């Protein structure tokens, strides 16, 4: 969730560290800092707030040196302030850290008993003081390995040493860490995006591995301190992720990029000449599949929920879904005939990565649906299905959610076809409808003016409710999540049929209720649930793809999206909900790209 950058160079590094931290801002953070080495002194500069504030501090008080580390922090231990910002330094050592040290309280007490003094409330300072203590009797790499043995939890570390001004040591357990190669300069980073502006040659540390960087070399070590070799990846040059173009923020840009995302994703997976889906190399033969298990967190979990409805409707396979943070603690009955699918935008989501690791240890087949093909989850999966969404900077996912849905639907169609669960005519028809999806999304985006009017109705609301049935229920959950994430307004998503079992008690005069009602087999029942809300004073916002006139005078606002088929309606109906959350947040002057307390890449448990 936090961001790390380290540079060992033949020239001053502070400007490049700041520029790299700016590229990591999208991850979400509340403070920033930098430490460099010069004349055997650790020069540390920190601030609460944004990297822009850190840059101003450096203009007044430069932090010179040819080796340095930087950090943007998302608070776990200790409130977001100057003292708790990273790096955390002693006289001899400076450390930046992503992750959580679970036994920090225990280690802190041991260190205090030895006379160590703590300045911050963080778990990270424990690492600094442990290494400082170990350096009294050993070299830096030995001191780091000794410290790592004492730590419980997850971490990615960047460490510099006053008396060893030529090296940066990096270490990984759980949280991602990468290194980049260049001439007379090498890099350490938690995110390949931060390194791409400086190099396209990158290696990724695996769990338990450590690296030592100088300006001219990079050495890698396994958990037993044996020297190892690492593969060098040549990473692709993505679009300029720091460029918002003519948009106010990244989220609006990403919402309106969705027709392009859909077209790219569909074109990647559909062979227009053969009129077939070109998904190959299944880790398990589809006809031998016993069960599909879908695993994700947050928005990715909602895409799994939608996919469950699709698989159950189109195939004869049993489908199970799991929230990743629960999966890793359940007593799972693993079966080699099951396919375990992990969905993650970043491919670094800690709970999802841990659930994948459990599956690998139990020797079952795994698949990942990710946006970042160089990510930990992608590299550790037997099979990878990229969503081809391109870089997504806004913390609240939009185009990546769309990409996840499209890929899961395409996978569902292909598996159903191979198994003979869907006839050739319906298979071809569904593929043709998929090709129409980008234009349908483009038409849906033209509803923005109406949605701006809807958004005003939420400003004085005490809360809101999103209702749907079938595959529209997960879309209701996602709509409520988006509104919470962006506008900080309370919102709940429910199956419309569950209203009488408790949630109806929340309905009061003027409460905004968003009813998601595509023209499917649930349509009339959803309308009945809507009438129950109207009878109790709820203010209805009705979203449908029904071509006939189903928008009555009892509805405060009605929106009609294009109709393709009952499967793709879920994808189209999500788009107005994204725009609604965006415009409510815009009216409330919220930080849309970086919602409070949230991070883009959730790399802690």
295-325 confidence digits (pLDDT tens)? 999 999 999 999 999 999 999 999 999 999 9
Mean pLDDT of the chain: 90
For residue 62, the model assigns a pLDDT of 84
Mean of pLDDT values over 396-410: 96
Three-class SS string for 169-201?
EEEEECCCCEEEEECCEEEEECCHHHHHCCCCE
Is-same-fold flag (240-445; 446-593)? Answer: yes
453-470 confidence digits (pLDDT tens)? 999 999 988 899 999 999
Under the banding of pLDDT at 50, 70 and 90, the label for residue 547 is confident
- pTM of the predicted model, to two decimals? 0.80
User: How many other CB atoms are there within 10 angstroms of residue 83's CB atom?
Assistant: 15
Q: What Rg value do the Cα atoms of the chain yield, rounded?
A: 25
Task: Please name the residue ranges forming H helices in 97-168.
Answer: 104-113, 124-134, 140-150
Q: Of 572 and 20, which is predicted with more confidence?
A: 572
Task: Please name the residue ranges forming H helices in 446-504.
Answer: 448-456, 472-487
Judge: domain 240-445, CATH 3.40.50.10490.
Answer: yes
**% of the chain beyond a pLDDT of 70:** 95
CATH topology of domain 446-593: Rossmann fold (3.40.50)
Which of the residues 2, 211, 304, 367 is marked catalytic?
A: 2
Asked whether the predicted pLDDT for residue 378 surpasses 70, the reply is: yes
Mean of pLDDT values over 404-423: 96
Under the banding of pLDDT at 50, 70 and 90, the label for residue 292 is very high
Burial of 105 from C-beta contacts in 10 A (0-12 / 13-18 / 19+): exposed
Under the banding of pLDDT at 50, 70 and 90, the label for residue 1 is low
For residue 239, the model assigns a pLDDT of 47
Phi, psi of 59 (to 5 degrees): -65, -40
Q: Which of 72, 47, 4 has its CA nearest to residue 599? A: 72
For this structure, is 2 an active site residue?
yes
For residue 288, the Cα-to-chain-centroid distance in whole angstroms is 32
Handedness of CA 214, 217, 222, 227 (dihedral sign): negative
For residue 467, the model assigns a pLDDT of 96
Burial of 247 from C-beta contacts in 10 A (0-12 / 13-18 / 19+): middle
Query: Distance between CA 476 and CA 458 in Å, rounded?
Result: 16
Q: Of 214 and 557, which is predicted with more confidence?
A: 214
* DSSP three-state, residue 26: helix
Under the banding of pLDDT at 50, 70 and 90, the label for residue 28 is low
Mean of pLDDT values over 448-457: 94
Mean of pLDDT values over 267-292: 90
240-279 confidence digits (pLDDT tens)? 455 787 888 999 999 999 999 999 999 999 987 878 999 9
- Max mean pLDDT among 103-107, 113-117, 591-595 falls in 103-107
For residue 568, the model assigns a pLDDT of 95
- The full set of domain ranges for the chain reads 3-234, 240-445, 446-593
477-525 confidence digits (pLDDT tens)? 999 999 999 999 999 999 998 888 888 888 888 899 999 999 989 888 9
For residue 73, the model assigns a pLDDT of 76
Which of the residues 22, 253, 365, 600 is marked catalytic?
A: 600
CATH topology of domain 3-234: 3.60.20
């Amino acid at each position: 969730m936090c961001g790390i950058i380290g540079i060992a160079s033949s020239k001053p590094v502070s400007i490049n560290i700041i520029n790299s931290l700016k590229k990591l801002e999208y991850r979400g953070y509340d403070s920033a800092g930098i430490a460099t080495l010069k004349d055997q002194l650790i020069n540390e500069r920190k601030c609460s707030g944004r990297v822009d504030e850190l840059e101003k501090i450096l203009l007044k008080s430069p932090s010179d040196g040819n080796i340095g580390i930087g950090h943007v922090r998302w608070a776990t231990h200790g409130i977001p302030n100057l003292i708790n910002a990273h790096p955390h330094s002693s006289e001899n050592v400076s450390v930046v850290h992503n992750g959580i040290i679970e036994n920090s309280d225990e280690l802190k007490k041991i260190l205090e008993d030895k006379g160590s003094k703590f300045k911050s409330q963080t778990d990270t300072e424990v690492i600094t003081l442990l290494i400082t203590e170990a350096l009294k009797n050993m070299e830096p790499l030995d001191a780091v390995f000794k410290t790592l043995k004492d730590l419980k939890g997850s971490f990615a570390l960047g460490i510099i040493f006053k008396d060893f001004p030529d090296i940066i040591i990096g270490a990984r357990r759980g949280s991602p860490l990468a290194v980049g190669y260049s001439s007379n300069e090498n890099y350490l980073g938690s995110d390949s995006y931060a390194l791409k502006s400086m190099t396209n040659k990158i290696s990724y540390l695996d769990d338990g591995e450590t690296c030592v960087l100088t300006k001219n070399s990079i050495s890698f070590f396994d958990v037993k301190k044996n020297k190892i070799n690492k593969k060098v990846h040549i990473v692709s040059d993505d679009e300029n992720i720091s460029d918002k173009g003519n948009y106010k923020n990244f989220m609006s840009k990403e919402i309106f990029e969705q027709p392009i995302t859909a077209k790219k994703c569909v074109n990647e997976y559909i062979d227009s000449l053969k009129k077939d889906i070109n998904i190959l190399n299944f880790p398990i033969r589809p006809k031998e599949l016993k069960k599909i298990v879908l695993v994700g967190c947050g928005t990715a979990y909602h895409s799994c929920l939608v996919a469950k409805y699709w698989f159950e409707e189109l195939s004869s396979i049993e489908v199970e879904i799991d929230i990743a943070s629960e999966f890793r603690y359940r007593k799972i009955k693993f079966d080699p005939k099951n396919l375990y699918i992990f969905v993650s935008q970043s491919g670094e989501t800690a709970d999802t990565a841990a659930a994948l690791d459990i599956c690998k240890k139990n020797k079952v087949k795994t698949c990942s649906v990710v946006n970042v093909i160089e990510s930990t989850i992608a590299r550790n999966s037997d099979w990878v299905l990229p969503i081809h969404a391109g870089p997504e900077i806004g913390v609240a996912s939009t185009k990546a959610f769309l990409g996840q849905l499209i890929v899961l639907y395409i996978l569902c169609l292909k598996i159903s076809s191979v198994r003979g669960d869907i006839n050739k005519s319906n298979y071809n028809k569904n593929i043709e409808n998929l090709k129409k999806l980008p234009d349908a999304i483009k038409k849906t985006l033209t509803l923005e003016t109406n949605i701006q009017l809807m958004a005003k109705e939420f400003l004085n609301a005490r809360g809101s409710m999103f209702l749907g049935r079938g595959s529209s229920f997960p879309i209701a959950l996602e709509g409520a999540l988006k509104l919470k994430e962006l506008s900080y307004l309370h919102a709940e998503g429910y199956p419309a049929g569950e209203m009488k079992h408790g949630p109806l008690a929340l309905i009061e005069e003027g409460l905004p209720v968003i009813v998601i009602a595509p023209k499917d087999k649930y349509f009339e029942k959803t309308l009945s649930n809507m009438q129950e809300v109207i009878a109790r004073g709820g203010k209805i916002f009705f979203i449908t793809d029904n071509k006939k006139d189903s928008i009555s005078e009892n509805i405060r606002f009605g929106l009609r999206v294009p109709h393709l088929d009952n499967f793709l309606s879920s994808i189209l109906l999500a788009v107005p909900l994204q725009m609604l959350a965006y415009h409510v947040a815009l009216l409330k002057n919220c930080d849309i790209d970086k919602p409070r307390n949230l991070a883009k890449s959730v790399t802690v448990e």
